[in-house]
């Protein structure tokens, strides 16, 4: 993308930002308003979600995501889709993206993103916007890379996938990092902790059904499964046995999560969606 194209994209983003106000928010569907208020609370610096303990075992998948961003973001236009506090967008900006954009319906999240970008000296190649991921307002064929980190279950994919396809360039890539909806114990945990997610979110955890739906819009590739036995280490995360236990459980996961069917018990999975060339 040439500099004038970057300038035009920045102008579009600035124009979109000017339209964001309480009237805009109140015009959204009620599920989106609920999501905005819920995310404002969850991403408030004073809030500490009760499920953070489980993320003590996601190091391998986080490293995979980091490496993916470092390989693919340089000199690209990157969109962190429903960016939350902007971790992926900031990583992409630090990795050398021409422009790293974060969009989220939560005002609190976007404020956090802007503050972090300023603290990390990443304001020159990043832009954060409160917006509707199902109707971004971004120009068609403008995005090289999209990162979806734990967010696809927050949106209606019958709107989200067509919108992604519209704004992505031919050959552009979505990297998705999502919870998986098969393991009965994990599903039970979600049912017992309703305050940690909206009702819409809880009812739309991603499965292979959504991957099949994605294939109508994109080529699906590089599906990988993460974290099953490793979760057993969570209760020991503050003890001396955590590291050796975690390593042993990772070794088990590395074998068992390659087996079709059984790997569906993983907590999370990653995959890529490629926009086909337009004929």
Are residues 142 and 115 in contact, defined by beta-carbon separation less than 8 angstroms?
no
Considering the domain boundaries, does residue 279 fall inside one? no
Considering the domain boundaries, does residue 13 fall inside one? yes
The whole-angstrom separation of Cα 261 and Cα 72 is 30
Considering its fold, how many domains does the chain have in total? 1
Beta strand spans in the chain (E): 77-81, 99-104, 126-130, 143-149, 168-179, 219-226, 268-274
Considering the domain boundaries, does residue 164 fall inside one? yes
Under the banding of pLDDT at 50, 70 and 90, the label for residue 43 is confident
Considering the domain boundaries, does residue 29 fall inside one? yes
User: At residue 77, does pLDDT exceed 80?
Assistant: yes
Q: What is the mean pLDDT of the chain?
A: 94
User: At residue 55, does pLDDT exceed 60?
Assistant: yes
The answer for residues whose C-beta is within 8 angstroms of residue 244's C-beta and 6 or more apart is: none
User: At residue 213, does pLDDT exceed 90?
Assistant: yes
Under the banding of pLDDT at 50, 70 and 90, the label for residue 2 is low
User: At residue 151, does pLDDT exceed 70?
Assistant: yes
Give me the helices (H) in 215-269, please. Answer: 242-256
User: At residue 44, does pLDDT exceed 90?
Assistant: no
User: At residue 279, does pLDDT exceed 70?
Assistant: no
The whole-angstrom separation of Cα 153 and Cα 40 is 17
pLDDT at 220: 98
Considering the domain boundaries, does residue 39 fall inside one? yes
Considering the domain boundaries, does residue 236 fall inside one? yes
Under the banding of pLDDT at 50, 70 and 90, the label for residue 4 is confident
126: β partners = 100
Residues 92-133 pLDDT 10s: 999 999 999 999 999 999 999 999 999 999 999 999 999 999
Any idea what DSSP says for residue 139?
A: P
CATH number reported for the structural domain that contains residue 255 in this entry: 3.40.50.150
74-81 average pLDDT score:
98
Range of the domain at 203: 3-274
Residues 224-274 pLDDT 10s: 999 999 999 999 999 999 999 999 999 999 999 999 999 999 999 999 999
Q: What are phi and psi of 240, to 5 degrees?
A: -70, -20
Considering the domain boundaries, does residue 199 fall inside one? yes
User: At residue 1, does pLDDT exceed 60?
Assistant: no
- Packing angle, helices 87-94 and 59-72, rounded to 10: 50
Of 21-35, 78-92, 183-197, give the range with the top mean pLDDT: 78-92
pLDDT at 63: 96
Under the banding of pLDDT at 50, 70 and 90, the label for residue 53 is confident
Considering the domain boundaries, does residue 258 fall inside one? yes
pLDDT at 211: 97
């Amino acid at each position: 993308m040439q500099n004038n194209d970057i300038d035009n994209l920045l102008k579009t983003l600035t124009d979109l930002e000017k339209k964001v106000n309480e009237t805009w928010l109140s015009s959204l569907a009620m599920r989106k308003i609920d999501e905005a208020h819920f995310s404002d609370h969850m991403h408030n610096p004073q809030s500490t979600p009760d499920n953070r303990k489980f993320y003590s075992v996601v190091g391998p998948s986080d490293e995979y995501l980091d490496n993916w961003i470092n390989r693919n973001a340089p000199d690209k236009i990157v969109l962190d889709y429903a960016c939350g506090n902007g971790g992926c967008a900031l990583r992409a900006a630090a990795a050398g993206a021409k422009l790293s954009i974060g969009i989220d319906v939560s005002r609190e999240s976007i404020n956090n993103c802007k503050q972090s970008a300023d603290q990390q000296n990443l304001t020159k190649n990043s832009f954060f916007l409160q917006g509707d991921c199902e109707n971004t307002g971004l120009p068609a064929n403008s995005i090289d890379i999209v990162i979806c980190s734990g967010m696809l279950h927050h949106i209606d994919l019958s709107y989200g996938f067509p919108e992604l396809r519209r704004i992505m360039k031919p050959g552009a890539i979505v990297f998705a990092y999502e919870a998986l909806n098969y393991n009965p114990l994990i599903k039970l945990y979600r049912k017992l902790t309703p305050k940690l997610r909206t009702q819409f979110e809880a009812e739309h955890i991603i499965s292979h059904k959504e991957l099949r739906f994605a294939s109508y819009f994109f080529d699906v590739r590089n599906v990988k499964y993460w974290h099953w036995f490793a979760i057993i280490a969570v209760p020991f995360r503050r003890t001396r046995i955590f590291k050796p236990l975690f390593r042993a459980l990772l070794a088990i996961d590395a074998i068992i999560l390659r087996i079709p069917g059984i790997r569906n018990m993983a907590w999370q999975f990653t995959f890529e969606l490629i926009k086909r060339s337009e004929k």
